[in-house]
Amino acid sequence: MTEAVESPGREDYLAALAGIVADVEAVERRMAAVQIEQLRALAAAGRLADGQTVHRNAQVRLHDMVLRSITAEVGGVMRTTDRTVQRRIGEARTIIEGFPAAVTAWESGRIVREHVRAIVDAGMTLPAEMWAEFEAIAIERCEREAPNRVRGELEILAQRMHPRSFAERHEEAAAGRCVRLVPGRDGMSDLVATLPTVIAEGIHDRLTQQAGAIVDTREERAAGSGDAAGVVASDTRTTDQVRADVFADLLLAGTPALDDTRDTSAGPLGAIRARVQVLVPAATLTGSDDGPCDLSGRSPIDPATARTLAGDTGIWERLFHDPTTGVTVATDSYRVPSGMRRFLQARDQHCRFPGCRVAAIRCEVDHTHDHALGGATELSNLAHLCQRHHSMKQFTAWRVRQLKGGVLEWTSPLGRTYREDAPTPAVAFTPAAPPPGEPAPF
């Protein structure tokens, strides 16, 4: 085991770190109080404009003029435009008046500002009369998770609570798919495609794999010898740049022209296909439910697309769980991973360091207790960690132990502990019920 980087002057280091953490914690509390106070002041400005509307026949116009005047006044103090202030007043009223319980939870320190934003963003997709019901459930879930992790779960929750089916709403939204060109500066432009989420994710994943293959080949050649290595070494493009170049090649030429080692018409890069992890409730798979499905680590996708993907094992990994119990009932994989790896991917879903949301398919399976030090290769000693947090576990003073049920308990250099529960739904295999009249097998 490599010695932790914090070892030299450890006591002084920990004392300094403890002071910094305490200062940050205190500042966060004060910032939350100030941010809430500002939201309430902006919401009050909006209510003041409502109160000044007294002429019924000119209500809309008068209200708009009063609001413009107020926002201009406030904008002068905030040193920003009246349009920006008007937008912020609208947002403040939505948060303060529409989701008061979330504000109270934020004020008491149970959740943070990003949690509130996630609750509001997801809740706004519901009719206003359902906000309070949604808010109560959402706050409870936010208390257990970091904002970036709970956002997708809240979106799924809101979609399932919506009085209209997700399939119906997705069909309407898909009618608005388009490609837009946004001119930029210095001879650059943004090409923006609005597509169904699963298609957009697949495109980005394939580009990422192709760019990674090019970068890996370049580095291998650069480590070699001869003229070819020198030529390849001159290519200093970043992964983002290579991804953009491959994107342009595929659209303009139909094949990744950057692939200078191609041995087929499309080249080795052309054989790369996207890999996306989708959670499909069993009821949705059978067609008895039209609720949304979960694109792991991202956002909901429509049930029709999920059913189509589930029928094709050539590319997609399939994870099916019961929407009522949260128990995974089946799993399948194109790559034919071992049963242990499939179990871990279904259980962990993402990196198991607190707050990290990198999908399990992008992570490394780590031995919680180092294998080199006797740690066994078994489910109770394995968990997914992304490369960043895997390295941090190995080379810093952060420590982790695994408890029952896949729960990880992380300990920081200051001795603070962070409990990391296995995501819901956790994988669980239960024996089938015996036929009527037959005793249970055990």
- pLDDT, one tens digit per residue, over 316-370 is 445 454 455 443 334 443 343 455 777 788 888 899 998 888 888 888 889 898 8
| Same domain, yes or no: 215 and 292 | no
Q: Is residue 66 part of a domain?
A: yes
CA–CA distance, 48 with 269 (Å, rounded to integer)? 61
* Residue reference for tokens 């128990």: 327
Question: What pLDDT is recorded for position 105?
Answer: 96
Asked if residue 264 belongs to a domain, the reply is no
- pLDDT recorded at residue 279: 67
Residues 202 and 295 in one domain: no
Give the per-residue pLDDT at 301: 73
Is the same domain home to 136 and 184?
Answer: no
Residues 360 and 288 in one domain: no
The pLDDT of residue 258: 58
393: buried, middle or exposed (CB in 10 Å: 19+, 13-18, 0-12)? middle
Q: Mention every residue, 6+ apart, whose C-beta is less than 8 A from residue 316.
A: 275, 276, 278, 309, 310, 334
What average pLDDT does the segment 2-9 reach?
55
Residue 339, in any domain of the structure:
yes
Domain hosting residue 290, numbered range: 278-316
pLDDT(37) > 70: yes
Q: How many domains does the chain have?
A: 4
Same-domain pairing of 288 and 414: no
Same-domain pairing of 295 and 189: no
Distance CA 288, CA 298 (A): 24
Asked, for residue 233, whether it belongs to a domain, the answer is no
CB-CB contact of 268 with 277 (8 Å): no
User: Based on the domain organization, do 149 and 189 belong to the same domain?
Assistant: no
Residue 442 included in any domain: no
Both 167 and 182 in a single domain?
A: no
The tens digit of pLDDT for each residue in 215-261 reads 887 777 776 655 444 544 567 888 899 999 889 888 887 776 655 54
270 found inside a domain: no
Q: Which residue has the higher pLDDT, 389 or 298?
A: 389
Same domain, 135 and 81: yes
Candidates 293, 296, 319, 290; CA nearest to 306 is: 293
In a domain, 1, yes or no: no
Q: Distance between alpha carbon 262 and the CA centroid of its chain, in Å? A: 35
Residues 199 and 342 in one domain: no
Residue 182, strand partner residues: 190
How far is Cα 408 from Cα 422, in angstroms, rounded to an integer? 8
pLDDT tens across 366-419, in order? 989 887 888 877 878 889 999 889 988 988 889 999 998 889 999 988 888 999
Q: Name the pTM for this structure.
A: 0.62
Give all strands (DSSP E) within 195-313, no chain letters: 277-281, 293-295, 300-301
Please identify which residue in the block is written with the tokens 């529960």: 421
